[in-house]
Structure formats: structure tokens, C-alpha cells
């Protein structure tokens, strides 16, 4: 199971992040300050760290150096508008950042993106009679191979890793296509419709009016 260390001194935020990551299938641990985080990662291994910048004892930049020493990728948690801090963190080696307050679906998408970059995602996923092998990027349904395009495959992964969670069109587009969502065009909708038809998921991928889609389990 993927292990994530949440380094956040605001307990309600830390607990909210942990609750949603656990729901998504990750194993999580919380460190309330930078010093404890540094000690934890020297004792135990993690696949990813979510790291606040403003922390007691050791700040996020100092903790980042410890994380880099043991090859743990880091996503910084920053306050809205702290542009200089974001830039500094990225230059120091952070993989990404997300501004607080944040949308949980966006956080999960960014976590998934970084884990995929480091090839630390789950190797096998399943839903109903659908089986995915992420190493070979193959999809089987009822024991038979399914031919999906690259974007359809990435879209399916996104839905399976966010079961029962509302995904905004912006989050879907940025996660699958990697660019900023303009709000124009029907790229997301057309790909979702094709995916539903290919896999017979019409009753399981529900449209949410003016929001996006949800894989209903």
C-alpha cells in the first residue's frame, strides 16, 4: 500500500487530508511539526510527503532537505497567494504545490500525478469485471482485452482512484490532459461518453450538473 506522510501543524486540516487519502486507499501518518517529520522519515519509509511550509521547530524548506536525502517526493501545502514561497519550494526540489484552502479532488489528482511520475502507483486496479494492470497499461473486461486510447486509459484510472467522489471538469482535464481548463469545448464530456460506451459504464459514471462526473460504487 502507498504510504504518505502528512506534515501539517493545523490538526483539523491534517485530519481532513488523512481521512480523504485513506478513503482513496492510501496509508497515512501525520507529523505535527518539522522536527518530528524529520525524525519519522529517518526511521520509516514513505512514498510521498505532503508538507506545510510554516511549521514549528523546523520549517518546510528544512524538512524538504531531509526528504530529498531519503528520496521522498514532496508536495508543498501553501497559503493562498504565497507566490514566492511556491517558487522557492519548486526550485529547491518540491514536485508540486497546492494552495490552502484546497479542493480535495484536486489534492488527490496532484497526489496521483506525482506518484505516477515516480512509478509508485498501485500495479493492479479492479472494478466490477474490469481489471487494470498499470505496469503493462492493459485493461481487461470479463477476461478479454479492451482497446482504450491513452486519454481514455488515464481517465479510467482517475475514476477508479476516486470512486464515489465528485470530479470537477477542471480537475479531470488538468489531471488527464495536463493543461489548464479553459471551460470551452467538450473534450472531457466526449471522452467520458466514449469510455462509458466502451466499458458499459453508463449506469456507473454519473454526470453532475454544472460540476463534472462521479464513478458511483
Q: What is the DSSP string of 44-72?
A: S--SEEEEESS-SSS-HHHHHHHHHHTT-
pLDDT (0 to 100) of residue 141: 92
Confidence of residue 166 (pLDDT cuts 50, 70, 90): confident
Cβ atoms of 8 and 60 closer than 8 Å: no
Can you give the CATH number for the domain in which 208 is found? 1.10.10.10
Confidence of residue 157 (pLDDT cuts 50, 70, 90): confident
pLDDT (0 to 100) of residue 72: 92
Cβ atoms of 30 and 24 closer than 8 Å: no
| Residue from 111, 95, 98, 94 nearest 20 by CA | 111
Question: What phi and psi values does residue 125 have, to the nearest 5 degrees?
Answer: -130, 150
pLDDT (0 to 100) of residue 83: 66
Residues 67 and 137 in one domain: no
pLDDT (0 to 100) of residue 4: 93
The residue behind cell 491534517 is 14
Confidence of residue 120 (pLDDT cuts 50, 70, 90): low
What residues does 132 pair with on adjacent strands?
125, 139
Domain holding 40, by residue range, is: 3-117
* 46-91 pLDDT per residue, tens: 999 999 988 999 998 999 999 999 889 999 988 756 667 777 777 7
Residues 107 and 167 in one domain: no
Looking at the 3D structure of the chain, how many domains does it have?
2
pTM of the model: 0.60
Residues 175 and 205 in one domain: yes
Residues 107 and 208 in one domain: no
Amino acid at each position: 500500500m502507498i504510504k504518505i506522510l502528512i506534515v501539517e501543524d493545523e490538526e483539523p486540516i491534517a485530519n481532513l487530508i488523512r481521512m480523504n487519502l485513506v478513503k482513496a486507499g492510501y496509508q497515512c501518518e501525520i507529523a505535527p511539526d518539522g522536527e518530528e517529520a524529520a525524525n519519522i522519515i529517518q526511521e520509516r519509509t514513505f512514498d510521498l510527503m505532503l508538507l506545510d511550509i510554516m511549521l514549528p521547530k523546523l520549517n518546510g524548506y528544512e524538512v524538504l532537505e531531509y526528504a530529498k536525502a531519503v528520496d521522498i517526493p514532496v508536495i508543498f501545502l501553501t497559503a493562498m497567494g504565497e507566490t514566492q514561497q511556491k517558487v522557492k519550494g519548486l526550485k529547491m526540489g518540491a514536485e508540486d504545490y497546492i494552495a490552502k484552502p484546497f479542493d480535495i479532488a484536486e489534492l488527490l489528482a496532484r497526489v496521483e500525478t506525482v506518484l505516477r511520475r515516480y512509478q509508485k502507483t498501485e500495479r493492479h486496479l479492479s472494478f466490477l469485471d474490469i481489471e487494470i494492470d498499470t505496469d503493462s497499461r492493459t485493461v481487461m473486461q470479463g477476461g478479454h482485452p479492451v482497446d482504450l486510447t491513452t486519454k481514455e486509459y488515464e481517465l479510467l484510472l482517475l475514476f477508479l482512484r476516486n470512486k464515489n467522489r465528485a470530479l470537477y471538469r477542471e480537475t479531470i482535464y488538468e489531471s488527464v490532459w495536463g493543461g489548464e481548463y479553459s471551460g470551452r469545448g467538450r473534450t472531457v464530456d466526449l471522452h467520458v461518453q466514449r469510455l462509458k460506451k466502451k466499458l458499459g459504464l453508463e449506469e456507473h459514471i454519473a454526470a453532475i450538473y454544472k460540476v463534472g462526473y462521479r464513478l458511483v460504487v
